[in-house]
Structure formats: structure tokens, C-alpha cells
Structure 1
Amino acid sequence: MKKRKIIIIILIITVFIGWKAYLSLDFRRVIPSSFAMEFCSCYFVEKQSEKHCEWYSSQIIPVSKYHVDEDKKAIKAYGLHEEALAIFKSERFGCELQPK
């Protein structure tokens, strides 16, 4: 009976840890997504300098790198092994985050 309780407790803990790990995968996408959206709005909507927008969009956890595509009016940001793409739509609607 004691073995059974221990096995059930271990199973519950394992499922809980697995669920938390699964949920943390979504968090990793937040960093590059937030950077791409903020940078896109700053650069294409507010027409600020690239250096200013990089500073404005920076966070506690920095992105690995980013790319500004002037022709497509898009920002691609990489961080925490994820990438995000924000595209400028118009002055009125600003930037839109593209689904992965």
C-alpha cells in the first residue's frame, strides 16, 4: 500500500513538471514577439532611428539578433531559440505580428 502511494505521488509530480515544461515553451516566443512588435511600431510608425528603436524595444532578456527589411517593411527578431516576424500594415493600423 505504501509503495502504491509513493508511485502515485511520483506520477503526479512527473505530470505536473511535464505540464509546466510544456507551458514554458509558449513563454519563449514572448521575448522575440514583443521585440519585433515594439521595434516595428517605433521604426515604421513613429519613424525613429534604428538605434533608438533597438533601445526602446530592449527587454531584460535580450533578443539574439534582429533583421530590418526596409523593402517589405518587416522586422524579424530571434531569441530563446524562437523567431517572430512583425510587418508594417499602415499608418492607421501599425504593425501586425505574423503567426508562426
Structure 2
Amino acid sequence: MEISGRRLAKALFLNRFFQVLKTRPKAQIWPRRQKKPRIPAATPEVCSAHFCEACRMLRDTDWTIEEVGAHVGYSDIHYFSRLFSANKGISPRAYRKLSRIL
């Protein structure tokens, strides 16, 4: 592999440049990524209030499950359904169906 004079000069210049700075090239050219600030998880009391409201809405309204989830703060229907099932032990659809029968 042949290296052109210009590339070699650039490589030697950068090598000397980083020796003078007493640092590694990677640290200067690609600084470390900043971590994203974490959003604190909702407390159990908040989740309980959300799901109590969701239960009321599933019983008393004809809104879709997606609309109910969005109203209580979950934009993803699958995430809302998973959390609802984990919290109440039954899916939102089954909860609505049972509440209409009883």
C-alpha cells in the first residue's frame, strides 16, 4: 500500500501535534458521549392512580384502549397494555369485557 506524500505529512503532523498536547488522538477528535439524563420512574402511588383512572375509563366510556392509555399518559398501546396487565393481573380488553358483564 502506497501512501502519498500529502497523507504522510498529515499523519506525521497529527502525530507530533498530539505528542505536544500529551494526549491521545481519539480523545481529542471523538470526545466521550454525554449520557442522557434519566427520567425518574413514576412512584407506585402515581402508577396506581393512573391505572385506577384507566379502569374507570374502561368501565364507563367507549374509548378505545389506545385512547384510554394516551389519556392516562402512555402513548404506546403495547406498553400501556403490558403495564396494565402487570398491575391488575388482566389485560385491558379482558377487564373491559368483564366489567360490561358484571
Pairwise same-fold verdict (TM > 0.5): no
| Higher percent of residues as strand | 1
**TM-score, normalisation: structure 2:** 0.33
| Higher percent of residues as helix | 2
Greater relative contact order: 1 or 2 (C-alpha under 8 angstroms, separation 6 or more)? 1
**TM-score, normalisation: structure 1:** 0.34
Q: Which has the larger radius of gyration?
A: 2
